[in-house]
Structure 1
């Protein structure tokens, strides 16, 4: 049986010949680059991989599949990357003090609130002064003959001062917990809390002057 020579053997026996458009033949060496412009040269690609990685695996399909697998793995790692603690979508850490529900939670909240009042009365002189003022103004607001809406404004303005003072005290306690050293940001936070208390006091004074002031003037004129 006669074996037919393979194309590789025929190319190795002599130079390949290409026919151009005019019919002329041009000799081409067996290892010349005969790839068309714009096509990918696998030999150059293999040499580039050898120079970069030092190891060349046989078969372009295996290398491309390996690269695509690594890219898919990196994409999967990016998609399933855990959220950082600073991310707003990250779950909050477990707090054992938040496990109570129903009446138990309400009971513990009331005990914590009473503890906060005791700490504020014992440690905060400004809160004691404002609490004394509230003990005077609240009975007056209840007894003064005004409309219900005006009565709510009188009592609410006094309670607002106490609320803002408690918040200011909590901010100061948190800053002192972080550090007791003098710092510009710590001073600014405490000054802003004091400014909030001053605004609440001004609102309380304005409310009582506008509502109770005309009644006091009328009583003084009637008595004189």
Structure 2
């Protein structure tokens, strides 16, 4: 060990807390609240994020198109799943961007990295759509 550093273990008699005191309801009430928060997130993303609206449009086109393709059920499920994956990634990317902007609007290398990484994740998701559809449809 480095000089001046000690390893200590403290045993406390306090009960171990497994959940946040800020957690809300349980049971059906929690599920209903979560559904409401989810809908609010979809609405916020649709209203405030052009990229999310574009992905919704892509999904409105590609998901029904998957049902008209001569593919197996597993391939169809995969074609639809990768489209939905891009929506998930965009929601997470938008959430990261919102948090970064909430913390500070000043330019900072870490803020840029966070936003660029979110963008890169979306690029990967869109690449997965392209490759998956191409491999399935073109063999």
TM-score range, shorter chain: 0.7 to 0.9
* Superposition deviation, residue 142 in structure 1: 1.9
Question: How far does the alpha carbon of each residue in 1:115-158 deviate from its partner, in whole angstroms, 9 at most, with x for none?
Answer: 10000000000011111011000001122121111111100110
Does 2:41 correspond to 1:116? yes
Rate the CA distance shift 1:94–1:183 in 2: closer, same or farther, 3 A: same
Counterpart for residue 94 of structure 1: 21
| RMSD of Structure 2 on Structure 1 (CA) | 2.2
Report matched runs for 1:137-216 at 5 Å. Answer: 137-214=62-139
Question: How far does the alpha carbon of each residue in 1:17-51 deviate from its partner, in whole angstroms, 9 at most, with x for none?
Answer: xxxxxxxxxxxxxxxxxxxxxxxxxxxxxxxxxxx
> SS where residue 105 of structure 2 aligns?
coil
Does 2:25 correspond to 1:104? no
Report matched runs for 1:47-58 at 5 Å. Answer: none
Choose between structure 1 and 2: higher helix proportion.
2
Question: How far does the alpha carbon of each residue in 1:186-222 deviate from its partner, in whole angstroms, 9 at most, with x for none?
Answer: 00000000000000000000011111235xxxxxxxx
Distance in 1 separating the partners of 2:12 and 2:75: 58
Rate the CA distance shift 1:147–1:161 in 2: closer, same or farther, 3 A: same
Distance in 2 separating the partners of 1:79 and 1:158: 49
Which structure would you say has the larger RCO, counting Cα contacts within 8 Å and 6 or more residues apart? Answer: 2
Rate the CA distance shift 1:149–1:99 in 2: closer, same or farther, 3 A: same
Structure 1 stretches of 4+ with a deviation exceeding 4 A read 78-82, 89-93
Q: Which 5+ residue runs of structure 1 have no aligned equivalent? A: 1-77, 83-88, 215-224
Q: Which 5+ residue runs of structure 2 have no aligned equivalent? A: 1-8
Rate the CA distance shift 1:144–1:187 in 2: closer, same or farther, 3 A: same
Question: How far does the alpha carbon of each residue in 1:78-119 deviate from its partner, in whole angstroms, 9 at most, with x for none?
Answer: 94689xxxxxx8766520xx2211111111111111110000
Tell me the matched-pair count: 130
